[in-house]
């Protein structure tokens, strides 16, 4: 058990040393205005290179990713149906789906799923 703690401390120390060295070595000493400006074939840019990003789109994308991962967790439940206790499988599945439905209702109730304002 002691050797496990020693290995954890050594790995943590190495990770901290590498991250500190990387942050120290990656700092730029001077910021060049010309290098920081956008480049469009040698001409001055017509408009701003930074376009506004819709927070609504970002929120919908995050919700999609969360529910996509949860669907990936539901799919194996069908595969293990043969090998598990039917009562425990049913309870686990219903609790998991209930949590998903409560989360979906909360997002719907908060108005996060409305695309137009």
The average confidence (pLDDT) of the chain is 81
Predicted model pTM: 0.50
Res 79 pLDDT > 80: yes
Res 37 pLDDT > 70: no
> When comparing pLDDT for 85 and 31, which is higher?
85
- Confidence category of residue 9, pLDDT binned at 50, 70, 90: very high
Alpha carbons 35 and 50: distance in angstroms, whole number: 16
Q: What is the pLDDT of residue 35?
A: 67
Q: What is the pLDDT of residue 46?
A: 66
Res 28 pLDDT > 70: no
Inter-residue contact 38 to 45 (CB < 8 Å)? yes
């Amino acid at each position: 058990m002691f050797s496990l703690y020693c290995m954890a401390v050594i790995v943590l120390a190495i990770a901290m040393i590498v991250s500190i060295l990387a942050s120290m070595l990656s700092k730029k000493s001077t910021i060049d205005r010309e290098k920081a400006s956008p480049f469009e074939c040698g001409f001055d840019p017509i408009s701003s290179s930074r376009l506004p990003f819709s927070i609504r789109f970002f929120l919908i994308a995050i919700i999609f990713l969360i529910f996509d991962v949860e669907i990936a967790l539901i799919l194996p439940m069908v595969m293990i149906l043969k090998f598990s206790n039917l009562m425990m499988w049913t309870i686990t599945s219903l609790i998991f789906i209930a949590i998903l439905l409560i989360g979906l209702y909360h997002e719907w109730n908060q108005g996060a799923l409305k695309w137009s304002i």
